[in-house]
A = this chain, B = another copy of it.
């Protein structure tokens, strides 16, 4: 149909999708086999850890993880049941809730990182040259930025 897709672009797109699916499911399996938290939980823990004051609003979490609001609520419910996070109500605005890490949450994060990092390295980065890594970082941030608007 369009010129770009015909021009080898479709192949890039397809391999992009398939590579993503394959790498993610492999890393997911790595984590599971080591008795560690699933990838989404890990993302939650990282987001909390990385937020100012080591706590994050539910809605900010939803944005960060490309989830719906209710999706974030459900997710934090489970992490809270697993004693990895805790909800705190904000002092100044009592509508809001913050998610914070428990000791166990910080531990889970620390334990998962080596395996996750190894997965990223071996299943993704190891197959790329330094130039490709740099190119992807720049290309994908461009795409991500453009995706925000529309």
Q: Tell me the number of copies of this protein.
A: 2
A114 contacts across to B, CB distance below 8 A: 1
Is the beta-carbon distance between A12 and B127 smaller than 8 angstroms? no
- A136 contact set on B, CB distance < 8 A: 12, 15-16, 136, 139
- Chain A count of residues within 8 A CB distance of the other chain: 51
Shortest Cβ distance from A6 into B: residue? B117
Nearest CB of B to A100, in Å: 23
Which residues of chain A from 112 to 150 have a CB within 8 Å of any chain B CB? Answer: 113-114, 117-118, 120-121, 123-128, 130, 132-137, 139-144, 146-148, 150
- Taking the nearest CB of chain B, how far is it from the CB of A35, in angstroms? 19
In the complex, the chain B residue whose C-beta lies closest to that of A46 is B14
